[in-house]
Amino acid sequence: MIKILFFGALRERLQCANLSFELNSPCTVADVMAQLRQRSPLFADALLDANLLYALNQQLCDVQTQVQSGDEVAFFPPVTGG
Amino acid sequence: MTAVFLPQQGSTTIEPATTADSNPEHLAAAADKVANHHNSAIYIKVQMQDFSQQVLYQQLAATPYCGAVVTFTGLVRDHPELQLQALELEHYPGMTEKALQQIATEAAQRFELKAISIIHRVGLLTEREQIVFVGVASAHRSSAFAGAEFIMDYLKTRAPIWKKQHDSQGSAWVEAKASDTVQQQRWQP
DSSP annotation string for A5-68:
EE-HHHHHHHT-SEEEE---SSEEHHHHHHHHHTS-HHHHHHTT-TT-EEEETTEEE-TT-EE-
| Confidence bin at B14 (pLDDT 50/70/90) | very low
CATH code of the domain in which B65 resides: 3.90.1170.40
- Tell me the chain B residues in contact with residue A9 when contact means C-beta distances shorter than 8 Å: 162, 173
Nearest to A80 among B95, B98, B162 (CB): B162
In the predicted model, is pLDDT for residue B11 greater than 50? no
Write down the pLDDT at residue A37. Answer: 96
Asked if A80's CB is within 8 angstroms of B176's CB, the reply is: yes
Decide if B147 is inside a domain: yes
Decide if B174 is inside a domain: yes
Give the range among A43-57, B30-44, B139-153 with minimum mean pLDDT. Answer: B30-44
Gap between the Cα atoms of B145 and A36, Å rounded: 44
Tell me which range, B4-8, B17-21, B111-115, is most confidently predicted by mean pLDDT: B111-115
In the predicted model, is pLDDT for residue B15 greater than 70? no
Chain-centroid distance, C-alpha A36 = 8
Spans of all domains in chain A = 2-76
Full-prediction pTM beyond 0.90? no
* Gap from B164 CA to chain A (nearest CA, Å): 8
Q: Which fold has domain A2-76?
A: Ubiquitin-like (UB roll) (3.10.20)
In the predicted model, is pLDDT for residue B1 greater than 70? no
The 10 Å Cβ neighbour count of residue B77 is 10
The ipTM is 0.95
Q: Is A23 an 8 Å CB contact of chain B? A: no
What is the average pLDDT across B120-140?
A: 97
What is the average pLDDT across B160-188?
A: 94
Q: What is the mean pLDDT of chain B?
A: 86
Gap between the Cα atoms of A52 and A60, Å rounded: 11
* Gap from A58 CA to chain B (nearest CA, Å): 5
Decide if B112 is inside a domain: yes
Number of domain units in chain B: 1
What is the end-to-end Cα distance of chain A in Å, rounded?
Answer: 34
Nearest to B160 among A12, A51, A76 (CB): A76
Asked if A12's CB is within 8 angstroms of B162's CB, the reply is: no
Decide if B33 is inside a domain: no
Decide if B121 is inside a domain: yes
Residue of A38, A17, A26, A35 whose CA lies nearest to A70: A26
pLDDT, tens digit (0-9, with 9 covering 90-100), for A4-38: 999 999 999 999 999 998 887 789 999 999 999 99
In the predicted model, is pLDDT for residue B6 greater than 90? no
In the predicted model, is pLDDT for residue B9 greater than 60? no
What is the average pLDDT across B172-183?
A: 93
Write down the pLDDT at residue B189. Answer: 81
Gap between the Cα atoms of B60 and B115, Å rounded: 6
Specify whether the CB–CB gap between B174 and B162 falls below 8 A: yes
